[in-house]
A and B are shown apart, each in its own frame.
Chain A
Amino acid sequence: MRARLTTLLCAVILSLSTATMARAAELKIGLSQFPSTLNPQIDSMLAKSYVLAMTQRPITAYDQDWNLICMLCVELPTLENGQAKLETLPDGRQGIAVTYRLQPDATWGDGTPVTSADMVFTWEAGLHPKSGFTNFETFRRILAIDVIDDKTFTLHNDRVTFDYNSLQLDLLPAHVERPIFETDPAAYRNRTAYDRDPTNPALAFGPYRIVEVVSGSRIVLEPNSTWSGPAPAFDRITVQVIENTAALEANLLSGAIDMIAGELGLTIDQALAFEKRQGGRYTFIYKPGLIYEHLDLNLDNPILADRRVRRALVYALDREALNNTLFGGKQPVARSSVSPLDWIYDPNVPTYPFAPDRADALLKEAGWIPGSDGIRQNAAGERLTIELMTTAGNRTRELVAQVLQSQWRELGIDARIRNEPARVFFGETVSKRKFTGAAMFAWLSSPENVPRTTLYSDQIPTAENNWAGQNYTGFKNAEMDSLIDAIEIELDRDKRKALWSRLQRLYAEELPVIPLYWRAEAYVLPKWLKGVRPTGHQGTTTLWVEEWQAEAH
């Protein structure tokens, strides 16, 4: 009798749970960008990463808690577990040999196992000067690959850096792509099967595979039969591209799409307004990430070369009020270029709260006294005027620029707004350091991203170096240079954390850049969709699409 009751109870619980988490027919995702290519190594686009994360997985990735994890590999190689070993290179420098073992069950959709041969081909193609791969540096650092067996290989890297075991690389299926590549490497980028035959099952080993591509409009995915992980919940996922965000909202309301992806969907102000109108119908998630909105200051400008003025500019800004008023408190104030979600973040670094008195004192100390019209002047009669530039047509940035102008005006600082279309702003003004005052834009980074290109003194773009580098402020600081050099090669976490703390402190003291806020992604999800966990870094939510569940509704 007791056994029967137990069986009955189990049956009821089982039926309840299957009713709660039902297998759903289709999930329709709205996205505002269509990928220009589906080849993982050509061009860098968030839309492409979003789709490909459902069809294949990188060897390593950062998880939702910002820890480096194995996705395609079995165990993260470290010096401690012996899978990574320091070695001396023929030229006497120190390198490192890192051994990865691929998931034994990983199999391309046509039944061919994912093997070391795929790694070798991806590396060889990446090194080829005509392949057109974007991340050449990743491949150049690998001097040689030893294939140990079908699933195990050792990379011999040309240098020892703290991220020696990070291999955020999507493999290419050698059995499909090698013949195409070897026919004509220069034409490979136009002939890759990812674009010429995107529904080929051999291009996927993830939970889904692409079954339809309507260029510019939609990509349809269905479960991949060779996926050995947890079965995905949806029989079909359609990624529908609608570039206009107003139309994106209308499509959501009409049921043409079920959700709007946070990675490429509504801006924060649009999402907040939409939540006010339709909040009860959807789940809204706001996730601050690694998109760092800031003001690059041109340090060649004599006014901005004075550190006291730079500090006064920050003290004069009420960035908390800006966040609360414009962004509903969803986009936290940035203290430095390091995200508070990153383990290297130091909360004890000096901060600049809204302090008009301190700003006033610093400006007076620097010789800037309020003139008859309220704008400060120096002894030579020069006005404290700063040109403030950003991208024209970006409503949020234009609004922020007006708030900054108004707050600085209160302290007698004359900010002249001069906005330009994005391609002029980035293509000429910023990249060739033609802005004279402050340039507002965002940096996209990754966890524990070393700011070599933006802060190292040899990265200042000039005509002589053909405008290479992204140190647009013209910041030159010997200590910063040595910190960047030291961080890159420091393997001890505690020692590295101390170096990062010093770097953040120096950044806060010198202020070559005025930090504004961390941009947040707005996810609009149906109430019945569970398991979507935004990461805040460049890893898209779809890297864990098999964890998404449809609650019965």
Chain B
Amino acid sequence: MIRYITQRLAESLIVLFVMSFVIYALIGLMPGDPVDLMINANPRATAEDAARLRALYGLDRPIGERYLAWLGAALQGDLGYSRLHSRPVLEVLWPRLGNTAALMGISFILAIALALPFGIVAALRPRTTTDTSINLIAFAGISIPPFWLAILLIILFAVVLGWLPAGGMPPSNAGFGVSATYLVLPVATLTIVTVGGIVRFIRAAMIEALRQDYVRTAWAKGLGERQVVLGHVLRNAMIPVVTILALNFGALFSGALITETMFGYLGMGKTIYDAILGNDFNLALVGLLLATATTLLANLAADLCYTWLDPRITYR
């Protein structure tokens, strides 16, 4: 097992290395550069100013040369400065990673906690009113555009009722209670749009597992519904669900762009998006590599989960 994990971690490092070049090249090949953005905003800037700034930022050098310079520095622990934030990249990313972990972690746990019972109930009573109702709610969650849901929640809870802040980050001297109120609406938005998909996966996997011979055997042995469902069906049904959850988990770290934008929440999704649009090479690169690493680690965790869910699976 240890050998397997070591091998997977080594593979992940190779993927990260390749991805670093691919991401750097893709961002570098996009039209325009940071100096264009500076010059466009300044009616007094001249062509000479642009040339001087390009040389200063190293933008007049070939992309391969720039990448090697970045890689050399990165291997020595210097991931560079963020152009958009005028601070070291990690100093920008760490707090946002923490914010994202809080937002995504809570909404992910909530989504699973809600999806599990609903998915199981729907699978156990297929094509009944209960199943139809759960499916209806799940499809509503999947179909609602997050930006629209966010605005609805802001209008209801911040404008009309005035119970919760409309967005932003809590004041620096805020206690836990006040800080938590700033998370409620973004978490609710993400949970609602995520939970529907997970319910559908669990339902489908459960229905498939319920048809298996070992389940019929379990029923024939006279086991109770609770033992059959939780002990046999759910455990096996969770294998494909865990795969999907692992992929979702990685995507969540870079994918809450809309929710973060609507609520002015400082997370990874918005940071990476702004960095790409603003030609902030260092920030975009490190942000995307972190998202890639999270996806790879989540998938490794999922693979390890399989051995627990299904003892027949072993890794050598």
Contact = CB atoms under 8 A, between A and B. Distances in A.
Contacts of B158: 250-251, 254, 256
B159 A135 contact: no
Nearest to A196: B87
A277 B169 CA distance: 28
B36 A214 contact: no
Given A190-B88, A212-B172, 4 more contacts: A217-B168, A247-B166, A427-B33, A453-B46
Contacts of A255: 162
A215 B94 CA distance: 12
Contacts of B22: none
A218 B168 contact: yes
A468 B165 CA distance: 48
B151 interface: yes
Interface string A220-237: 000000000000000000
Contact of B47 (A241, A256, A449, A468): A468
Interface in B256-300: 261-264, 266, 270-271, 277-278
Contact of A135 (B45, B84, B167): B45
Interface residues of B, number: 53
Contacts of A449: 43
B44 A138 contact: yes
B137 to A, nearest CB: 25
Given A218-B168, A256-B165, A134 B56 contact: no
B36 A134 contact: no
Nearest to B47: A468
Contacts of A459: 47
A57 interface: no
A142 B234 CA distance: 77
B92 interface: yes
A254 B264 CA distance: 15
Given A36-B85, A43-B38, A135-B44, A243 B169 contact: no
26 contacts: A36-B85, A42-B86, A130-B56, A135-B44, A136-B49, A192-B86, A195-B87, A214-B266, A247-B150, A247-B167, A247-B261, A250-B154, A251-B167, A251-B168, A254-B154, A254-B165, A256-B167, A423-B277, A426-B36, A426-B40, A444-B41, A459-B47, A468-B48, A468-B50, A469-B47, A538-B43
Contact of B169 (A39, A136, A217, A468): A217
B80 to A, nearest CB: 9
B8 interface: no
A427 B33 CA distance: 7
A189 interface: yes
A42 B85 CA distance: 12
Contacts, number: 158
A250 B159 contact: yes
Interface in B186-243: none
B30 interface: yes
B52 A427 contact: no
B168 A134 contact: no
Contact of A46 (B41, B84, B162): B41
A44 B154 contact: no
Closest A-B pairs by Cβ, 6 of them: A427-B32, A427-B31, A468-B47, A44-B42, A254-B158, A195-B86
A132 B81 contact: no
A190 B44 contact: no
Given A45-B41, A134-B45, A427 B86 contact: no
A39 B262 CA distance: 28
A242 B263 CA distance: 8
B51 interface: yes
A137 interface: yes
B38 A134 contact: yes
Contacts of B154: 247, 250-251, 254
Interface in B146-168: 147, 150-151, 154-155, 158-159, 162, 165-168
Interface string A406-428: 00000000000000000110111
Contact of A253 (B44, B83, B159, B172): B159
B38 A427 contact: no
B30 A246 contact: no
Contacts of A36: 83-86, 278
A242 B41 CA distance: 20
